[in-house]
Amino acid sequence: MKCILENPIEIYGKKTKNRIVLQPMEGCDGTKEGAIDELTARRYRRFAKSGAGIIWFEATAVCPEGRANPRQLYLNEETKESFKALICEIRRTSLSENGFEPIIIVQLTHSGRFSKPDGTPEPIVAYRNSHWEKGKENQPYVVATDDYCKSIAKDYAVTARLAEEVGFDGIDVKCCHGYLFNEFLSAANREGIYGGSLENRTRLYFDCIDSVRSNTKNVFVTTRLNACDCFPYPYGFGVDKNNNIDLTETKIIITELRKKGIELINLTLGNPYLIPHINRPCINAPEDGNIGIKRIRDITAELKRTFPDIKFVMSGLSFNAEKALDYAAEIIEDGVADFAGFGRMAFAYPDFYKDFILNGSLEKNKVCLRCSKCSELMRNASVAGCPVRDSGVYMPFYQKHVLKK
């Protein structure tokens, strides 16, 4: 019997082959110029064989100072041919292996306070935050001026035109996980046109969405959005004065996004630098992962009920290991979300969806172990991948950059 995950669905006039989304998982393995390198290409070749309907390309910087690490991808005139070649290879490989071409979305980003363009922190922040900066007070923080913020829309315009030129189907204006646009959502005490009111706090985010839309013709615009920060500090986005989740402002933002033509939103929450178990439920966390996945599900369901015409991607599904796709089918069947998003599972087991469709189940000895070793690699300035399931490639990096420390 056909699984509901195989059902196509239309977004932006394009019909997806199925409901599986490979999430934007950064490999930190581009060249120093920001071009596609060998490990980058290897990862996306594996993703192309997966049978996923949407491949959501990883965080790609729009300016040099906004790179999260010295090997983060950066789309520009010098690197564009490497992107174009990889996109062509993804389409060709998927067509050969699966009989269709996936929809490919690029996530454009400015990393803000998590920028490390040369390997050392050079944080460009929306405002100073003593909670986030605890123990790091002496880093060279630069509060983005209003003039600097105005210039970012031009960076998005330039990069968006290149993204269209090299063949992406869609552009994600990233607003999550504590990066610059997401941080501005909580800038309640910042002065000027980018702080204080919700209108001001969303100004940079919306200006860059408008910039992408007005500078492209044949790509759609989407976003990965933090539904809430889920973190107990003053003025966090999406939480009330008692640090309880409050989606009031989130719903106002989505209402405006809908007016701007956004049909697809990839939902997430929290900040993986501070509370990784909130958006990536795992087995070694301070709370039971089942609590975490229920939180994500409940928030996604509430927003889907409020905005039934918006297509939502639910995140965090790798937590369910060998039952992940059964759970994914359940959330689609129950109307919680329209797409099932997988990140860590794709690192560990890129053929997971294909195996499920062919065999009706996943192989237990291949699934993501929810051990967070891929994140450990990233946090230790290494390339990122699965050192357990893809040990021949990534275990040497884990031994060098994590275990030897």
Q: What is the DSSP letter of 239?
A: B
Q: What is the pLDDT of residue 250?
A: 98
- pLDDT tens column, 215-272: 999 999 999 999 999 865 556 899 988 888 999 999 999 999 999 999 999 999 998 8
Beta strands in 85-234 (DSSP E): 103-109, 124-125, 142-143, 170-173, 220-226
Please indicate, yes or no, whether residues 248 and 166 belong to a single structural domain of this protein. Answer: yes
Q: What number of other Cβ atoms are within 10 A of residue 325's Cβ? A: 25
Residues 252 and 377 in one domain: no
375 and 335, same domain (yes or no): no
Alpha helices in 195-323 (DSSP H): 198-201, 203-214, 248-259, 276-279, 289-306
Instruction: Work out the pLDDT band at 404, boundaries 50, 70, 90.
Output: confident
Q: Is 6 left (phi over 0), alpha (psi -120 to 50) or beta?
A: alpha
Per-residue pLDDT tens over the stretch 271-324: 888 888 888 998 888 899 999 999 999 999 999 999 999 999 999 999 999 999
- Collapsed DSSP state (helix, strand, coil) of residue 20: strand
User: Considering the chain, what is the average pLDDT of its residues?
Assistant: 95
Q: Global pTM?
A: 0.97
Tell me the pLDDT tens digit for each residue of 105-144.
999 999 999 999 998 888 999 999 888 888 888 889 999 9
Same domain, 336 and 380: no
Mean pLDDT of 14-38: 98
Q: Note the pLDDT of residue 282.
A: 86
Instruction: For residue 148, give Cα distances in angstroms to 50, 112, 143, 183, 289.
Output: 41, 12, 10, 15, 40
Kindly state whether residues 55 and 150 are assigned to the same domain: yes
CA neighbor of 320 nearest in space, from 300, 358, 349, 354: 349
- Tally the domains of the chain: 2
What pLDDT does residue 233 have? 56
402 and 304 in one domain?
no
pLDDT above 70 covers a percentage of the chain that reads 99
Q: Do 14 and 53 reside in the same domain of the chain?
A: yes
State whether 18 and 103 are in the same domain. Answer: yes
Contact residues for 375 (Cβ-Cβ < 8 A; gap 6+): 272, 276, 280, 384
163 vs 142: CA distance, rounded Å: 29
93 and 64 in a common domain? yes
Asked whether the predicted pLDDT for residue 99 surpasses 70, the reply is yes
Judge if 382 and 263 occupy the same domain.
Answer: no
Q: What pLDDT score does 276 carry? A: 86
**How far is Cα 149 from Cα 402, in angstroms, rounded to an integer?**
36
Residue 105 · residue 58 · CB < 8 Å: no
> Dihedral, CA atoms, 23, 24, 29, 33, nearest 10 degrees?
160
Residue pLDDT, tens place only, 168-222:
999 999 999 999 999 999 999 999 999 999 999 999 999 999 999 999 999 999 9
Closest CA to 104 of 163, 158, 160, 151: 163
- Alpha-helical regions (H) of 280-370: 289-306, 324-333, 344-348, 352-359
Domain range holding 250?
4-365
Helices 324-333/352-359 angle, 10° precision: 80
* 181 and 305 share one domain: yes
Predicted local confidence at residue 1, as pLDDT: 54
Q: Are 186 and 235 in contact (CB under 8 A)?
A: yes
- We report the CATH number of the domain holding residue 228 as 3.20.20.70
Q: How far apart are CA 393 and CA 124, in angstroms?
A: 34
The candidate with the shortest Cα–Cα distance to 224, out of 9, 59, 52, is 59
- Residue 87 and residue 64 share a domain: yes
Q: What is the pLDDT of residue 390?
A: 97
What average pLDDT does this structure show over 50-60?
A: 98
Q: What is the mean pLDDT of residues 345-361?
A: 97
